[in-house]
Amino acid sequence: MTIINIENLSVFLFGIVIGSFLNVCIGRIPLGESVVHPPSHCPKCKTQIPYYYNIPLLSYVWLGAKCGNCQQGISPRYFLVELLAGLIALALHARFGFSYTFVVSFIFAAALIVISFIDLDVRIVPDVISLPGIIVGLFFSIIGYFVFADAFQIIPTPLSSLIGILVGGGFLLVTAWIYEKITGVDGMGGGDIKLLAMIGAFLGWPSIPVTLFIASVLGSVIGVGLMVATGAGRRLALPFAPFLCSGALIYLFYGEALIRFYLPPS
């Protein structure tokens, strides 16, 4: 089977179109604006973007990273998010095929993309995604348990999802409390706690320690790298949500293997 075929092309196109919508969410959710109305407009000059300038990936390249109307620069984030959504759709399809697991994990990944880029942008983990995300994750696990069997053992049982919500929310709550008591600094935001509860809802409780571990390693490596590169001090505060989201995504692909490695069935 070749990599470039109609099926993969369709999945990639589907991914970048959704990515285009995710860009709208990333731009508008922090402002409290509707994500469906009005139609896409230039963030600088507010002109409505005609459909021929609103083609995912291509328009950005074709217009030279500038608005077709006011010629002001457009953030590379638009291109990056579309590409990322396309690639993640491809990777999930390669891993899970067209299955219930694919649908659930793509919705989950899309939420992680929006949360990560909003946190990078404005340092907020939006409650309007993480809180409904907790309910939706639990709901998908119930549907998975009673209706669609998950052949990949990624979607947790409702019980594991429920424990995941409690462990994800509870663990960080306790850590944040201890950290604050010791250092007097408000370390981990409440938004990260709700995000980890959402991750627990979608992936089950075993995902929590794995996600936290990967996020801490990534965060330390990139944090130290940035401190060295920029000369910033120890107080360099990185948004943590993108690391938690990366950890959850890695778990989505390799979690089953990791769990089987550490917790062999007795």
Using CB under 5 A, list all residues that contact Zn ion.
Answer: 42, 44-45, 67, 69-70
67 versus 248: smaller Cβ distance to Zn ion: 67
Please identify, using beta-carbon distances, which residue of 67 and 88 lies nearer to Zn ion: 67
Closer by beta carbon to Zn ion, 45 or else 135: 45
Number of Cβ within 10 Å of residue 213's Cβ equals: 13
Count of C-beta atoms within a 10 Å radius of residue 239? 20
Q: Give yes or no for a contact between 66 and 59, defined as CB atoms under 8 angstroms apart.
A: no
Judged by CB, which is closer to Zn ion: 52, or 213? 52
* Distance between CA atoms of residues 43 and 214, nearest Å: 35
- 239 phi and psi angles, rounded to 5 deg: -65, 135
Degrees (nearest 5) of the Cα angle 101, 106, 110? 155
Neighbouring C-alpha atoms within 13 Å toward the C-beta of 28: 17
Nearest distance in Å: CB 74, Zn ion? 8
Using left for φ > 0, alpha for ψ between -120 and 50, and beta otherwise, residue 232 falls in beta
| DSSP characters over 68-96 | TTT--B--THHHHHHHHHHHHHHHHHHHH
CB of 12 to Zn ion, least distance (A): 28
If the CB atoms of residues 49 and 90 are measured against Zn ion, the closer one turns out to be 49
Least CB distance to Zn ion at residue 68 (A): 7
Give the shortest CB-97-to-Zn ion separation in angstroms: 41
Shortest approach of Zn ion to residue 71 CB, angstroms?
Answer: 7
Contact 54, 41 (CB under 8 A): no
Closer residue to Zn ion (CB): 43 or 225: 43
Tell the smallest beta-carbon distance from residue 51 to Zn ion (Å).
16
